[in-house]
């Protein structure tokens, strides 16, 4: 995605991740951050994992953490 090339926008996506409630949006943000190797997103993904989540989102978040660590 074109917007992912902008570091500021990627950081903003990471910041909004814990507040997102739509599973499709959560997955899209996780995939974008992981594809960019956005290590600064680790905290946001961990915060998301502390919440009740759709199982697919949980798996994607856990997979993303593994790839970023």
Q: Report pTM.
A: 0.88
- The per-residue pLDDT for 7 is 80
CA distances from 42 to 19, 30, 45 (A): 15, 10, 5
- Label residue 8 by pLDDT band (50, 70, 90): confident
- Label residue 5 by pLDDT band (50, 70, 90): low
- The per-residue pLDDT for 3 is 56
Query: Do 33 and 2 touch, CB atoms closer than 8 A?
Result: no
pLDDT tens track for 13-69? 999 999 999 999 999 999 999 998 989 999 999 999 999 999 999 999 999 999 999
């Amino acid at each position: 995605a074109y917007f992912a090339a902008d570091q500021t926008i990627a950081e903003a996506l990471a910041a909004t991740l814990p507040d997102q409630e739509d599973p499709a949006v959560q997955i899209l943000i996780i995939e974008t951050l992981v594809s960019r190797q956005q290590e600064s997103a680790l905290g946001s993904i961990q915060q998301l994992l502390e919440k009740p989540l759709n199982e697919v989102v949980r798996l994607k978040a856990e997979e993303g953490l593994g790839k970023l660590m």
